[in-house]
A and B are shown apart, each in its own frame.
Chain A
Amino acid sequence: MSDQPGRAIVEIENISKHFGTGAARVDALRDVDLTVRAGEVVALLGPSGSGKTTLLNIIGCIIDPSAGRLTLDQERVFDDGWLRRDLRRLRLDKIGFIFQFHNLLPFLDAKDNVALVLKMAGKSPAQARQRAIELLDYLEVGHRRDAMPALLSGGEAQRVAIARALANTPRIILADEPTAALDSKRAGIVMDLLRKLAEEQDACIIAVTHDEKIYDRFDTLFHLRDGRLER
């Protein structure tokens, strides 16, 4: 756990999200406030339908909040409406995603899955490839750089997915059940890795998880109940 939390990377103020109208209205999130600082690794917990994924999607600029303010890496991006039009570019530059089932592109090998993100960000093919190899080596999966995702073990695939998430050195890493497909040993390794990355890259990590055996690896556990956030 960080002794001296860094500057705020994710700031959520009074964020609400509802789906539908009238009698069919569902309030997925109600006046949620949350601040996550550089170096922090936090978890969003809660039963199914409590709003965890909705909150993750809002932080990832994937869905629109109904109201509130969102600031990412000191830049106000939502204030009762998006303040930036190029949300995909924002995601590319500032946010890395880690999925439950790694979601690697099956037609690219490990190295190119990572290099793709770098190329989209404007790196030359050679630079992208070099950086991808460095990242894979750093995550101790460099020896599998030329393997297709179908030939990687669960742990290897998840480490390649983490390398992809880290490729553009994002300040925010959003992880959706990052250890759900892994055994206890590998889950621990992945969590140690995420913490190391958060500290070394001055980034924050927000993970949705149901995996009780890794709760002790987080700095803070946030519980979502009926759309409200509780520490």
Chain B
Amino acid sequence: MNLAYRDVRHNLFRFVLTCLGLSLLMAVVLAMIGIYNGLVADALNIVKAPKVDLWVVESGTQGPFAEASQIPADTRDAVARLHGVTAAGSITYQTIEAPFRGETLRLYVIGYQPGYPGGPETIAEGRGLERSHFEIIADRKTGLVVGDRLRLGRDRFTVVGLVEDTMNSGGDPAVFITLRDAQQLQTQLAPPAQRVLMARGDGNGPSAQSTVAAVIARLDPGANPDSVAQTVRRWKHLGALTQADQEAILLQSVVDRAKRQIGLFLGILLSVSAVVIALIIYTMTMEKLKQIATLKLIGAPDRTIVGLIVQQSVALGVVGWAFGLILILLIKDGFPRRVVLEPVNAAALGAIVLGVCILASGLGVRAALKVDPATAIGG
């Protein structure tokens, strides 16, 4: 007969309540891990989405994500002609806020040239951009549906397609529009500001189509990205980053602080969990001291008593972890930011919780082994 199991069954309601409390803590830990993963996944998603090998940006910058970058729009033609380049496309990125049905949508606007690299890889619903102007493909997280119309700048756009899981590192859902529209949106002034500019004699304002944020290029499988990048850098006004460079920059420059912040918070949460588990196990043991003294008195070996405490501790941790995992899997889609949980994360937390439970039960075991069997005598 398993004493730990029988004791748990006898106090099932209290055990389940304790497990639920612990599972909430585990759910928070898993949520933090998931949010961190989501942060990294979102950040890399935008970089990985175009499926390119080379990023041509403004010389001396690490654009277009970590720093602002502006290069001449005709750079695409020059890059497309380089040896080893199979396709190249101009691209722009900007964050805007757009009013929609009484609310304000914060959107990460990606401008690209349909037919060239830079657009969405897969359309989940609807179609891609077919017209040169005023069509939009939006991430589902925006809440937009195909057919919706919303105002970006001074123009109204129609949603023609939807994509999934396309966000920037700040969690803003992405929308795709044509490069021309994006350039227009970037330099468009409000009518009063336009009038002031015209009164000063610069009626055309900034050139709407003169710059892009970057040119992205796909290379021939046999081409060496570093050597093509080196070639691009010979043009003194341009810089070039390989895909690996761009991902590393994004993780180090953009996500690093958030990563450390979440990592620290995660460490605190795990420490709190360890203390809570230790306290629960210790309290459970202290409540059983008389029973443990009786067990010792009637001849129970230490292994029976240690087994009782350690098995309950492990059961508490495992059930708390499992409930926590189920809970976070059920609610993760309700988080404002993407929560990405990999099986390895859940397994790692399970292993940590198991270790913590065994360590935490040490306090209880110590107290139990010190119990004088004589305390069972005398009422």
- A residues with CB within 8 A of B: 53, 56-57, 60, 62-63, 88-89, 91-93, 97, 99-101, 103, 105-108, 112, 115-117, 119-121, 125, 148, 164, 176-177, 180
Smallest Cβ-Cβ distance to A104: which chain B residue: B294
Bound-state CA distance A164–B295 (Å) is 12
From A63, A103, A105, A125, give the contact of B374 (CB < 8 A): A63
Which residue of B6, B10, B299 has the most chain A CB atoms within 10 A of its CB atom? B299
Q: Which residues of A contact B304 (CB under 8 A)?
A: 120
From A88, A100, A103, give the contact of B294 (CB < 8 A): A103
Q: Which residues of A contact B333 (CB under 8 A)?
A: none
Q: Which residues of A contact B6 (CB under 8 A)?
A: 107-108, 112
Q: Which residues of A contact B294 (CB under 8 A)?
A: 99, 103, 105
Complex interface bits, B357-379 against A, C-beta within 8 A gives 1, otherwise 0? 00000000000000011101111
- Could you list 5 further interchain pairs (A-B, Cβ under 8 angstroms) beyond the known A91-B299, A120-B301? A63-B374, A97-B377, A106-B10, A112-B1, A177-B379
Are B377 and A107 in contact (CB-based, < 8 A)?
A: no
Q: Does B207 contact A (CB under 8 A)?
A: no
Smallest Cβ-Cβ distance to B292: which chain A residue: A105
From B1, B291, B295, B378, give the contact of A106 (CB < 8 A): B291
Q: Does B290 contact A (CB under 8 A)?
A: yes
Bound-state CA distance A219–B29 (Å) is 67
Are B1 and A116 in contact (CB-based, < 8 A)?
A: yes
Are B297 and A97 in contact (CB-based, < 8 A)?
A: yes
Q: Is the interface of B mostly helix, strand, loop or mixed?
A: helix
How many residues of chain B get a CB closer than 8 Å to chain A's CBs? 25
Q: Which of B1-26 contact A (CB under 8 A)?
A: 1, 3, 6-7, 9-11
Smallest Cβ-Cβ distance to A102: which chain B residue: B294
Smallest Cβ-Cβ distance to B9: which chain A residue: A107
Complex interface bits, B184-207 against A, C-beta within 8 A gives 1, otherwise 0? 000000000000000000000000
Q: Does B298 contact A (CB under 8 A)?
A: yes
Q: Does B300 contact A (CB under 8 A)?
A: yes
From A91, A100, A107, give the contact of B11 (CB < 8 A): A107
Smallest Cβ-Cβ distance to A91: which chain B residue: B299
Smallest Cβ-Cβ distance to A129: which chain B residue: B1
Q: List 8 A-B contacts (CB under 8 A).
A: A57-B374, A62-B374, A97-B297, A99-B379, A100-B379, A105-B295, A106-B10, A107-B7
Bound-state CA distance A195–B7 (Å) is 34
Are A125 and B377 in contact (CB-based, < 8 A)?
A: no
Q: Does B218 contact A (CB under 8 A)?
A: no
Smallest Cβ-Cβ distance to B298: which chain A residue: A117
